[in-house]
Amino acid sequence: MKPAVATLGLTEAERESIERFEAKVIQPSMTSLVILDFWADWCGPCKQLAPVLEKIAEDYSTKGVKLAKIDVDQDKLIAAQFRIQSIPTVYAVYRGQPVADLTNYRSEGQLKKVLDQLLAQLKIEPEGAVPKAEIEPLIAMGEQVLEEGDAPRAVNIFRQVREMAPDNPQAIGGLVRALVAAGELDEARQFLGTVPDEAAKSTDIARARAALELASAPKVDTAPLEARIAANPEDHEARFELAGAKMASGDRDAAADALLEIVKRDREWNEGAARKRFLQLLEAQGLEDPWSSAQRRRLSALLFT
């Protein structure tokens, strides 16, 4: 269905209706996702839905979402073009075309869920945002440099990305992990403390937070701990402390081995503390990392055999 309408032979009121539609819906939809609400003043359900749509439009205004309302009595020609049979009828419009029928989504939670999906699928950027095409190569470069062990250079790369996209969770998370790797734990904590609420829910921030927590474990002499374990292999507290020390020194393999040994001997020790810390270790490395995948298989083998 194409909302564009020929103007030949139309009345002046119909021409004005089309001009309003072009200005309120078509033009904004070239760069934003427009929630198009067909309503009327006499429609009770429309009045109930209106505050929900207005709140969502306000909450998502920085994400590239706008709200447009079409009064079916005033703009009958537009309503006819969309073949509106009942109201409220709500569409999502992008680049001049309806991309989703939102009519059956009435609650704030339902609408936000479908909008999140549409924004991701259509790759819609907030107004004034730096395009992902410019940011993603820099993020990939920062991750590669960090993986190669050049933490200071990775910090510089992620700082540059964050200047371009201050609220991007990948940029923030990458910068925090690079700072952790560079030993700048205080600055890493500072950045995590200023993360926007929406970004804070992302896996990138969760990974950065896990990396910081693991790196914050106090560095201790492992010899006494190893002696305790040699004398008593069931000393899970010593083994757990040893795992923390290994994490703090960057020896993830030894840390994983120690934690899995506890799980093997007593998976419920200290309310499953070893398993929880092990999963935190994987999160810090990135759950999609090949190393994490291999370690996850080791854990599964212990738990399910």
The set of catalytic residues is 43, 46
Helix/strand/coil for 280? helix
Quick check: 31 and 49 in contact, CB under 8 A? no
Query: If you ran DSSP here, which 8-state letter would residue 3 be given?
Result: -
91 CB-contact burial (10 Å; exposed 0-12 / middle 13-18 / buried 19+): buried
112, 99, 113: which is closest to 32 by C-alpha? Answer: 99
Length, in residues, of the chain: 305
Q: Which residues contact 295 (CB under 8 A, 6 or more apart)?
A: 256, 278, 281, 282
**Hey, what are 1's tokens?**
């269905």
Q: Are 102 and 35 in contact (CB under 8 A)?
A: yes
- C-alpha to C-alpha distance for 305 and 300, rounded to whole angstroms: 8
Give me the phi and psi of 33, to 5 degrees please: -95, 120
Nearest-CA neighbor of 88 among 100, 109, 112, 72? 72
What sign does the CA torsion over 239, 244, 245, 250 have?
positive
- CA nearest 21: which of 98, 85, 86? 98
70 strand-pairing partners: 38
